Amino acid sequence: MGDLLVQPLTWGSFLTFTVMAVLFLLLILGMVTYGIYFERKILGWMQLRPGPNRTGKLGLLQTVADVLKLLIKEDTIPSKADRPLFKIAPAISFVPSFVVLATIPYTDKLYFANLDIGVLYYVALSALSTIGIVLGGWASNNKYALLGGMRSAAQLISYAVPLVISAVGVVLISGTMNMIGIVERQEGWFWNWNFLPQILGFGVFVIAAIAELNRSPFDLPEAESELVAGYHVEYSGFRFAFYMLAEYVYMIAMSALITVLFLGGWHAPAPFLDFIPGIIWFILKFCFMFFFIIWLRGTMPRIRIDQLMSLGWRVLLPLSLANIFITAIVVEIIKAING
């Protein structure tokens, strides 16, 4: 896949990439469909409930039925809504969540784009989803939706800052923003992975990432008891499904990004395990992060909005800045010793 990127753009290569992109989109949609199923089963297991078990064998068709229901459900638009913005807002939220996956290297050969500024590209594109959320709340002409959109924007901006700063420590010790280069630097034993030398940055990044995903315990933009489902209260049918789809695709993308930046990507935890294909190690680490995010939802209660903002600005931001200073000092000391 990666070798095609260095060839001149022709109609053949364009068609090849188009087919690959469509197949990848279908794969992601399948992962989202059964990611929701496994989330329900995991939460049911944690809370002593059976979870989906009626529709299809073991309930495997429950999420498929839910998707079909959303697709055939009536698409209602408020009479006084801004119709063009109301229609396009869910797509603005979804498209960046899918596009950012183009820079994730799943192995040293399996990737769509090998960008020298891959980390910066990911951060820049993922921030665009905030626009879709704010537009959806504003275009609905509903004060509750508007409040949900504004609160979501405040949350996403507040946690995007420590998220980006905590990733700077990885860039400093790797010497590159290229994601393949970051993974290659983590080759060898598991203590070479970035989560150990960057344990502070890793903790800040994971917390900020969960807040960016609007997941529990930071799911305030969708706090039903306060804002009647938040920014998407006026959406129904497939437009509502786009917002939910964007959330789960971002969950997949963020789990993959954490795997690349901190958990060694496709590398085995020990050299003698290198006979196992790299894609297997990537999938195992990815599934662990995906499970961890679901685990938090089944464990942690929702925090208040003042606690949410205080955690971001008073705790995570100073810690992420401290991580940069500590990392920079350690990197310079190592350079002085080796130089």
Q: Per-residue DSSP letters for 203-220?
A: HHHHHHHHHHTT-TTS-G
Given a cut of 60, whether residue 6 has pLDDT beyond it is: no
Question: Which range has the worst mean pLDDT, 16-25, 85-94, 130-139, 260-269?
Answer: 16-25
**Of 159, 103, 142, 100, whose CA–CA distance to 124 is shortest?**
100
Helix/strand/coil (H/E/C) assignment for every residue in 71-134: HHCCCCCCCCCCHHHHHHHHHHHHHHHHHHHHHCCCCCCCCCCCCCCHHHHHHHHHCCHHHHHH
Residues 200 and 326 sit within 8 Å (Cβ to Cβ): yes
The CA distance from 274 to 277, in Å, is 7
The interaxial angle of helices 237-262 and 118-126, nearest 10 deg, is: 150
pLDDT confidence of residue 7: 54
pLDDT confidence of residue 225: 53
Residue whose structure tokens are 């939220």: 93
Given a cut of 60, whether residue 227 has pLDDT beyond it is: no
296 HSE (CA, 13 A, CB side): 19
The whole-number average pLDDT for the span 118-147 is: 87
The CA distance from 10 to 3, in Å, is 15
Confidence of residue 228 (pLDDT cuts 50, 70, 90): low
The whole-chain average pLDDT of the chain stands at: 87
Residue whose structure tokens are 């594109």: 125
The whole-number average pLDDT for the span 239-263 is: 90
The CA distance from 214 to 153, in Å, is 11
Residues 181 and 263 sit within 8 Å (Cβ to Cβ): no
Tokens at 236, concatenated: 């129904």
pLDDT confidence of residue 1: 54
Confidence of residue 252 (pLDDT cuts 50, 70, 90): very high
Amino acid, single-letter form, for residue 329: I
The CA distance from 205 to 162, in Å, is 7
Given a cut of 70, whether residue 204 has pLDDT beyond it is: yes
Confidence of residue 110 (pLDDT cuts 50, 70, 90): confident
Q: Is 280 left (phi over 0), alpha (psi -120 to 50) or beta?
A: alpha
Q: Which residue has the higher pLDDT, 1 or 216?
A: 216
Amino acid, single-letter form, for residue 313: W
pLDDT confidence of residue 339: 67
The whole-number average pLDDT for the span 112-134 is: 86
pLDDT confidence of residue 223: 63
Q: Which residue has the higher pLDDT, 107 or 5?
A: 107
Tokens at 45, concatenated: 């297991």
Rounded to the nearest 10°, the torsion over CA 100, 104, 110, 112 is 30
Q: Which of 100-114, 152-166, 275-289 is most confident?
A: 275-289
pLDDT confidence of residue 4: 47
The whole-number average pLDDT for the span 67-82 is: 88
Residues 261 and 170 sit within 8 Å (Cβ to Cβ): yes
Residues 129 and 246 sit within 8 Å (Cβ to Cβ): yes
